[in-house]
């Protein structure tokens, strides 16, 4: 459990299976937040939602339980939270509507925050709990950012389904050559118009999404392989090692070599602590 003055996180997790599950409310002002990673259909109580990649929804506990039935592909994260009256007033004032899908503007940031949030749920020491509090607050900031009017609703954006499919492909295949001109020709629209509607749909540019997807890919390779930095750069889709190094340091705050070293040290320390338990 992670507790701040205004937010209480009692449960969070990830699911990659279709089917049903139930959550029971134990407090007032309790909400379920679901973040979807794929296109799917979810039925929550008596309402059906069509989720796209990088979308989320906020559903209140109208009754004692929430019943979720995932009817399509499944790859989603969920959080069970309760809010103070003051915080509820704040987020409603910022446009966080309930029972409606919203689009995340920065999926990469959510990915990084999630890596901190989940372990912090089981932390027993003050440092781990502090990390969890900061991670939860940052996650809520990203959720509010996606609902404060900077990201237009799907119905208002031309070619929204095609743009969502494109964005999903970018994050699934960052190593491919994503040339804006080729994308525009495929969609049959001009570059200025493409930039405008992409920004309206997701609150970020296509170029920024391409870089973010490649950074995420490079981090996975640094964490899971012994490949040299040059190979990591190429497999992640960067044109040159110099450009890769510059972008990685800009977005992550350290060099790829330092990131790999710190990740390995942290993983080794966690393994050692688990063996002692």
**Statement to judge: residues 12 and 131 lie in one domain:** yes
**Statement to judge: residues 46 and 111 lie in one domain:** yes
Q: For residues 42 and 71, is the Cβ–Cβ distance under 8 A? A: yes
Domain for residue 275, yes or no? no
Give the range of the structural domain holding residue 65, as residue numbers without chain letter: 2-145
pLDDT of residue 257: 94
Domain for residue 181, yes or no? yes
CATH of the domain at 188: 1.10.10.60
pLDDT of residue 142: 85
Count of the separate structural domains present in the chain: 2
**Statement to judge: residues 80 and 175 lie in one domain:** no
pLDDT of residue 272: 67
**Statement to judge: residues 164 and 137 lie in one domain:** no
**Statement to judge: residues 9 and 74 lie in one domain:** yes
87, 119, 145 - which closes a domain: 145
**Statement to judge: residues 131 and 179 lie in one domain:** no
pLDDT of residue 192: 95
pLDDT of residue 148: 46
**Statement to judge: residues 135 and 164 lie in one domain:** no
pLDDT of residue 232: 96
Q: What is the pTM of this model?
A: 0.67
**Statement to judge: residues 6 and 139 lie in one domain:** yes
Average pLDDT, consecutive stretches of 10 residues, N- to C-terminus, the chain (277 residues): 90 84 79 87 84 86 81 84 90 81 81 88 84 90 68 66 86 91 94 92 87 90 94 95 94 90 80 62
């Amino acid at each position: 459990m992670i507790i701040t003055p205004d937010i209480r996180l009692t449960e969070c997790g990830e699911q990659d299976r279709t089917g049903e599950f139930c959550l029971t409310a134990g407090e007032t002002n309790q909400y379920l937040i679901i973040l979807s990673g794929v296109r799917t259909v979810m039925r929550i109580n008596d309402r059906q939602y069509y989720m796209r990649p990088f979308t989320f929804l906020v559903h209140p506990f109208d009754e004692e339980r929430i019943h979720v039935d995932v009817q399509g592909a499944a790859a989603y994260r969920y959080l069970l939270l309760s809010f103070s009256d003051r915080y509820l007033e704040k987020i409603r004032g910022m446009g966080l509507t309930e029972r409606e899908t919203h689009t995340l503007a920065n999926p990469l940031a959510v990915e990084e925050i999630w890596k901190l949030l989940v372990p912090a749920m089981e932390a027993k020491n003050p440092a781990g709990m502090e990390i969890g509090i900061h991670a939860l607050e940052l996650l809520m900031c990203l959720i509010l950012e996606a609902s404060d009017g900077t990201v237009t609703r799907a119905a208002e954006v031309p070619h929204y389904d095609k743009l969502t499919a494109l964005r999903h492909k970018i994050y699934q295949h960052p190593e491919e050559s994503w040339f804006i001109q080729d994308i525009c020709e495929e969609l049959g629209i001009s570059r200025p118009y493409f930039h405008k509607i992409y920004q309206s749909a997701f609150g970020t540019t296509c170029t920024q999404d391409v870089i973010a997807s490649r950074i995420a890919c490079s981090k996975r390779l640094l964490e899971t392989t012994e490949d040299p930095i040059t190979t990591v750069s190429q497999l992640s889709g960067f044109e040159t090692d110099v450009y890769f190094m510059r972008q990685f340091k800009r977005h992550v705050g350290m060099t790829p070599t330092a990131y790999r070293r710190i990740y390995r040290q942290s993983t080794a320390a966690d393994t050692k602590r688990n063996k002692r338990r």
